[in-house]
Structure 1
Amino acid sequence: MEPPSAELSWVSDARVAGFETFAGDPAVDARLDVFAAAHVSVVVIDSDLSFYMTDARFEESAAYIEAVAKKCHERGMKAVAYCSLLEALTENAASVPNTMWKDHPDWVQRGIDGKANKFVGGAGRAFWVPAGTESAWLCPTSGYRDYFINRVKRLAQTSLDGLWGDVPLLSDIVGVWPCTNASCAAKFLAETGLAQPTRVDWNNPVFRRWVAWRHGVIHEFEQAVLAGARTVRPDFQLIVETDTMDHSGGTVQGLDGASRDDGDVLRVWEVSTASDETGMREAPADDWISMAIMMRHGRGCAGKNPSWVISYGKETDDAERVMAIAIAGGVRPYESQIPLLNNTVGDAWRGKMYGWLKDNNDIWAGESANPVAVIFSSVSRDFIDRNAGGGLYTSTNRADEDWWATTPTDSAKNLPYLGEYRGICKALIHAHAPYDVVTMPHLSPAWLAPYPVVVAPRPAALSDGEIASLKSYVEAGGTLLVTGGTDAGLFDEHGVLRAQPALLQAFGVSAGANWSRTSYGLGAVVLVTEQVGQTYYQTTDASVTTELARILEAAGRTIVTDAPPAVVIDLRQRTEHRLDVLFANIDGLDTGGFTAESASFQVAIPCGGKMPRRVTVTQPGDAAPAEIPFTHEGGRAVFDVTVGALLLARIALT
């Protein structure tokens, strides 16, 4: 028998949509009815909470949002309120007596250049800030912290199920490398015994220490906000919108979901598209692969927590590809039409996708069955890439003024750490070797134990504890692949230089021939001193996927398929008697003009020593799952599929 449908929390089973509404809005009921009909399960209420307001006005806003939340509940949907965490807006800033900057200049972030992080909108400076509106970015260690937490406590007294907290950045819109105000300087001194740096100098160990320390400042603020809310409501959720993903934004802006263990703080990832005008419709293949890598990165950062992602599209065909790689990447979608969060590509299309997710929601209950883990280190990125380029995507498009970047130096392919990390991920996708991301807060022998192969791309910065965990993993029988490895462990987690690359020293390994294998305990270390991941990201060097396939074959967990390279595969073990396989098809999207086509191929999935007895497949829009023929060969279930954007194959095992 198939296992019964899983009982999931509302966060785990989220199908998210949002809308903007203010007191007196006559369209609230009609819009919520549309959401419910489209199988939306969580509504984001975007009102005026991001504006600087008096206590009286805040009470009026809280009362209105509570009324909307109750309407959501009446329709069987949860409700969260949208609010900036560290940005305060004030309309008509020049003419009103009270703005955040006028009232609390000591709360505003200051850059390392001394500039206050505030500006007035207009002239295209920030699309979300209207002309004449002040935007002030607040310091998370200042008196603003208690002010904001008290407001969140009040929201926790309402019927809301949680708060959607928008990007708590140390924003570099005005000030360079914030925050250096008095409260941050005092905190850094108290915690490290060091004076805050006064200029950007990557050769200065104090500056490197400060860069790593800044991630913790944001993390502590997030934790304090949730803790404050839960003094009022133990079940209240904080979902933090995080747009810095794996790239250099995390270095300079501090916000980084990979740097600390989030505890009960949840994340919604904003994986921006290549263009705010055309979304991903004109994106080349490596930008699509980069997006798929960022989706999977979000799942890895979240650890065991469920997390969401903003799934942007321009039209239904590109939107379906984006949502496919989100779902196969393990993150729950918030469907939206570029460039605004509260738009939709179409209510009917949203209903098709969300109806399918509702019918197949137990994909979220399955544990990963992927054979590879890829380690991501925030501080290795910080100390190696040094914020030398943006790194969101790889391409430029001078014909589109809304393209993500205008200069080739911003390409992720040019950054030595990010290029190595993403290149390894790209090679694994092309080799059809499903992988999970493991970030440093989760690095432990127990966490790594299920993976026969662990890859550490350019692990330049490692703590003693992280090195010990990797040693224990290998001693117990695991295979550790280290790439770009001549400086593996040369820095500690604070940026202090060691005399020798400590990871190589720990294994007694020295630089030698690429792909050299050294036995250690019951396992082995494979060392590649060159940047083979970055090379693959730039050139798609087939020798890299060949070597990866050999390592995986030795571990006995290879998928055999003739699928196109850009078909993303994910394995999830629902129970010992069922394996779920997700296929997301982003093949052929770089042919000039957006053309989304199906991919037909054969696949052989390892069954873990069990016997397959039935295979069923389903895609969005199907009336019901269909049973398909299969064979059992070499311990694998072998079957043919045709994948549009997204397909789920369920293998029943005995």
Structure 2
Amino acid sequence: MWGVALVAITIGVDRGETNCATPQSNGSSLDPRHWTHFVRIGGYGLSLDRVDAIIRDAVNSHVFGIETDNDIPGRYESFLDPRDKLRAIKAVAEKAHAAGNYAFVYIAGLECITANAAQRPHTLFKDHPDWVQRKLTGEPAVFGGGTAFWIAPGDEDVWISPYASEWRQTYMERVRQIAATGIDGIYVDIPYWMTHFEGWENSWASFDNYTVAAFKKKTGLDARTNIKIGDYTDAGFIRWLDFRVETITDFMREIDHNAKAVNPRCMTIAEIYPGIEEGAPRVGADVYELYPVVDAIAHEYEYGGGDHMAASRTPLDWFGYMTGMYAFRSFAAGKASWMLNYSWDGNKNVDRREAMKNLAMAELMAGANVWDARGHVMSGSNDLETRKLIFNWIAAHEKTFYLPRHPVRPVGIYFSPKTRDYFPKEFIESFRGMMIVLLQSHLEFQIVTPRSMQDFHGEVLILPDVRCLNETELDWLRGLVRNGKALLVTGEAGKYDERLQPRNENPLHKLLAIIDPTREQTSTGPARFIYAPRCPARAYYAELHGHFNDYALQGNYRVASFEKLREQISSEILGLSNSEPAVKIDASPFLSTQIAEVDGKIHVFIANFKGLKSNEVAQQVPERNVRIVFLARRKSKLHVLRFLGEIQELNGEWSHGKMSFTIPEIAKGMVVWCGD
């Protein structure tokens, strides 16, 4: 068998201070250690003869954070001999730094392509069939042209087991060689178990010899014979599901370790498309688990159906995307969230420029970084002049959007990764429904996770059908109740432990003295709670699918059935709290809002989705006469930053320690804050 020839290469890396002075219209003036937080991304195919053109285009279009596509381990030829590509990576890194910019390079995770495979005596699969992921039946994860848009006719596309030791050793050596070029980041694309191509969706791969042996070593179970694939009632399958997520997380951790061992300033970025939904445990790349082991995540996030373009999104789709992005920002815990989403791909009735603006506006309001791309690829632009307009404006106001956002007086909503893993449909419908209630009711929220429990100091915590809780979580919840905090508990919250084992007695029912779990209950003391066994958030989410988009197009919503349910749920949430909200907002449910403290001032980030229609209308109907009330001093003013506009000031009316302001019009989006 033709073995891998490891090419030894020495490439110097400058460990000194990076020159972070940047052109006034192009770069970030902020701390270079945090460049990942302030990127405005454009993508470029990289070869040595294109380096100058790449830097020139990036500077001219206000790109800050240059993605270069020069995949070494994902192409079999360069996996074996990376020297030419390493020279190009080193050159683009040096030129980017000279221009006061940063550059990162794309590499594949567990995928490797051999071009023109039939004409070659050596391909990865021909040389190393044992490295490849497999179904339980033994079928290898080997594909040809047309399986995915990036696989050309005649190509061999294989998906490799992360436990293939010889491959992994060489892969990590390639990571170290790339980091040694001085590149600012290594961007790892879709490190997945093969469950995302047609015919593989329910395979729960991989059952290759390497992976099966690793699972048996860890658990004592034979994955081929001791587990019931896809059966959530089988303890062995639960172990398998967890093992697959742990494997991908460990793989990304090792990439980061190898990169930083050579170049401590080299960032590791993972690109994944699963978000908060069931796809995360299926492919094994769980955004919640990955954030602690990488420096940033690029989310190629897809909510709902269709082509996922901004041009084709409905108003309800936009709220689904906002929910996902706010969850990512919570999981990130201070790290950056990049959005590799797409604006327009030939939608005939939609102005591409408006689609680009809508996408950028929504991402900014969520605190995520914008990536401009053409169609459904990572490079280019649908309209370069619009990119320049948006990126130049972001550069001028980057601190407003990308400095840390801190809670003030939030309503907490709990995201349970284990409940999502084991009850994905039920939990996500409840979580997403409750998040949309909070966004549309303009209530301050804080997404709380097992990692951030101790950082929650609000008065009310919502448990949206959080069925799986471990003892640490339960102890924390007992402490909240003991300290006078209120709970809104829905569905079957607390019924199972973290391994999906049902409890003889529900500990939440015991904590709240719930005798009849079939009956809705409310208590004002000594424990303050609402218990709703039929989750109202799931009902609200279902109600929105009926007529929300029609009402958003019309603008009138007062008589809508979803509005009555929203008012009921939001009123119950407010009734549980012992404190007054820091900000009160009177606006329609077609606006999404986030309230947070930024740089010592309370900000409200507002996105307007009124009047939008999938594939037809990308220009919003303005929201008029929005009233906002802040707890503030008498002489405070409202600072208003319209999307793509300049900061203006509004005067308000002061009464009893509160300032009331009326915003005449909100078109696409706006940020407001109260201060002197």
TM-score range, shorter chain: 0.7 to 0.9
Relative to 1, partners in 2 of residues 1:316 and 1:637: Cα closer, same or farther, differing over 3 Å?
farther
Q: Which residue of 2 aligns with 1:475?
A: 482
Please give the secondary structure, in 2, of the residue aligned with 1:313: coil
Larger radius of gyration: 2
Q: Which residue of 2 aligns with 1:447?
A: 455
Rounded Cα–Cα distance in structure 2 between residues aligned with 1:60 and 1:591: 45
Is the Cα contact below 8 Å between 1:603 and 1:640 reproduced in 2? Answer: yes
Rounded Cα–Cα distance in structure 2 between residues aligned with 1:519 and 1:213: 43
Q: Which residue of 2 aligns with 1:88?
A: 112
**Which segment is superposed worse, 277-286 or 462-471?**
277-286
Rounded Cα–Cα distance in structure 2 between residues aligned with 1:65 and 1:328: 33
The one of 368, 372, 380 equivalent to 1:331 is 368
Q: Which residue of 1 aligns with 2:445?
A: 435
Is the Cα contact below 8 Å between 2:230 and 2:237 reproduced in 1? Answer: yes
Please give the secondary structure, in 2, of the residue aligned with 1:615: strand
1:46-445 pair list within 5 angstroms: 46-49=69-72, 50-54=74-78, 57-122=81-146, 125-143=147-165, 144-172=167-195, 173=197, 175=200, 176-196=203-223, 197=227, 199-259=229-289, 262-272=292-302, 279-314=309-344, 315-363=352-400, 364-369=402-407, 371-385=410-424, 415-440=425-450, 442-444=451-453
Relative to 1, partners in 2 of residues 1:614 and 1:489: Cα closer, same or farther, differing over 3 Å?
same
Relative to 1, partners in 2 of residues 1:611 and 1:47: Cα closer, same or farther, differing over 3 Å?
farther
Aligned-pair distance for 1:278?
7.6
Q: Which residue of 2 aligns with 1:601?
A: 625
Relative to 1, partners in 2 of residues 1:320 and 1:435: Cα closer, same or farther, differing over 3 Å?
farther
Aligned-pair distance for 1:458?
1.1
Aligned-pair distance for 1:332?
1.3
Relative to 1, partners in 2 of residues 1:638 and 1:550: Cα closer, same or farther, differing over 3 Å?
farther
Q: Which residue of 1 aligns with 2:508?
A: 503
Please give the secondary structure, in 1, of the residue aligned with 2:467: coil
Is the Cα contact below 8 Å between 1:479 and 1:525 reproduced in 2? Answer: yes
2:438 counterpart letter in structure 1: L
Rounded Cα–Cα distance in structure 2 between residues aligned with 1:322 and 1:205: 42
Relative to 1, partners in 2 of residues 1:113 and 1:328: Cα closer, same or farther, differing over 3 Å?
farther
The one of 448, 462, 465 equivalent to 1:458 is 465
Rounded Cα–Cα distance in structure 1 between residues aligned with 2:290 and 2:94: 35
TM-score norm. by structure 1 comes to 0.87
Deviations 1:118-155 (A, max 9, x none): 21122xx2112111111111212221322211110111
Rounded Cα–Cα distance in structure 1 between residues aligned with 2:184 and 2:208: 34
Relative to 1, partners in 2 of residues 1:571 and 1:281: Cα closer, same or farther, differing over 3 Å?
same
**Superposition RMSD on alpha carbons, in Å?**
2.5
Aligned-pair distance for 1:556?
1.4
Is the Cα contact below 8 Å between 1:208 and 1:494 reproduced in 2? Answer: yes
Rounded Cα–Cα distance in structure 2 between residues aligned with 1:515 and 1:313: 45
Rounded Cα–Cα distance in structure 2 between residues aligned with 1:275 and 1:340: 19
Rounded Cα–Cα distance in structure 2 between residues aligned with 1:611 and 1:330: 30
Aligned-pair distance for 1:274?
6.2
Rounded Cα–Cα distance in structure 2 between residues aligned with 1:497 and 1:429: 33
Unaligned runs of 5+ residues in structure 1 are: 386-414
Rounded Cα–Cα distance in structure 2 between residues aligned with 1:245 and 1:104: 33
Rounded Cα–Cα distance in structure 2 between residues aligned with 1:289 and 1:367: 20
Rounded Cα–Cα distance in structure 2 between residues aligned with 1:605 and 1:192: 56
1:538 counterpart letter in structure 2: A
Please give the secondary structure, in 2, of the residue aligned with 1:368: coil
**Which segment is superposed worse, 252-261 or 233-242?**
252-261
Please give the secondary structure, in 2, of the residue aligned with 1:334: strand
Q: Which residue of 2 aligns with 1:403?
A: none
Rounded Cα–Cα distance in structure 1 between residues aligned with 2:307 and 2:580: 45
Matched, 1:584 2:607: yes
Aligned-pair distance for 1:636?
4.0
Rounded Cα–Cα distance in structure 2 between residues aligned with 1:126 and 1:250: 20
Aligned-pair distance for 1:284?
2.5
1:508 counterpart letter in structure 2: A
1:138 counterpart letter in structure 2: I
Rounded Cα–Cα distance in structure 1 between residues aligned with 2:264 and 2:617: 47
Q: Which residue of 2 aligns with 1:402?
A: none
Is the Cα contact below 8 Å between 1:212 and 1:494 reproduced in 2? Answer: no
Rounded Cα–Cα distance in structure 2 between residues aligned with 1:37 and 1:549: 50
Is the Cα contact below 8 Å between 2:464 and 2:537 reproduced in 1? Answer: yes
Rounded Cα–Cα distance in structure 2 between residues aligned with 1:278 and 1:294: 14
Q: Which residue of 2 aligns with 1:12?
A: 37
Percent identity for Structure 1 against Structure 2: 23
Rounded Cα–Cα distance in structure 2 between residues aligned with 1:435 and 1:7: 29
Deviations 1:576-604 (A, max 9, x none): 3x222211112221387214222223232
**Which segment is superposed worse, 227-236 or 175-184?**
175-184
Is the Cα contact below 8 Å between 1:6 and 1:365 reproduced in 2? Answer: no
Is the Cα contact below 8 Å between 1:610 and 1:635 reproduced in 2? Answer: yes
Please give the secondary structure, in 2, of the residue aligned with 1:367: coil
Aligned-pair distance for 1:116?
1.6
Q: Which residue of 1 aligns with 2:347?
A: none
Relative to 1, partners in 2 of residues 1:13 and 1:38: Cα closer, same or farther, differing over 3 Å?
same
Is the Cα contact below 8 Å between 1:274 and 1:280 reproduced in 2? Answer: no
Deviations 1:503-554 (A, max 9, x none): 333443342543623646xx63322111211211111433344232342353
1:464 counterpart letter in structure 2: E
Q: Which residue of 2 aligns with 1:629?
A: 651
1:20 counterpart letter in structure 2: G
Rounded Cα–Cα distance in structure 2 between residues aligned with 1:225 and 1:198: 32
The one of 515, 537, 541 equivalent to 1:533 is 537
Aligned-pair distance for 1:627?
1.3
Rounded Cα–Cα distance in structure 2 between residues aligned with 1:85 and 1:31: 24
Q: Which residue of 1 aligns with 2:528?
A: 524
Rounded Cα–Cα distance in structure 1 between residues aligned with 2:504 and 2:524: 23
Aligned-pair distance for 1:453?
2.3
Please give the secondary structure, in 1, of the residue aligned with 2:182: coil
Aligned-pair distance for 1:63?
0.8
1:16 counterpart letter in structure 2: I
Is the Cα contact below 8 Å between 1:239 and 1:265 reproduced in 2? Answer: yes
Rounded Cα–Cα distance in structure 2 between residues aligned with 1:6 and 1:160: 19
Is the Cα contact below 8 Å between 2:654 and 2:660 reproduced in 1? Answer: yes
Unaligned runs of 5+ residues in structure 2 are: 1-28, 345-351, 545-561
Is the Cα contact below 8 Å between 1:631 and 1:638 reproduced in 2? Answer: yes
Q: Which residue of 1 aligns with 2:675?
A: 652
Deviations 1:321-355 (A, max 9, x none): 22222111121111223311112132221222222
Number of positions where the alignment pairs a residue of Structure 1 with one of Structure 2? 606
Is the Cα contact below 8 Å between 1:618 and 1:649 reproduced in 2? Answer: yes
Matched, 1:490 2:495: yes
Aligned-pair distance for 1:48?
3.4
Is the Cα contact below 8 Å between 1:509 and 1:518 reproduced in 2? Answer: no
Rounded Cα–Cα distance in structure 2 between residues aligned with 1:229 and 1:601: 52
TM-score norm. by structure 2 comes to 0.84
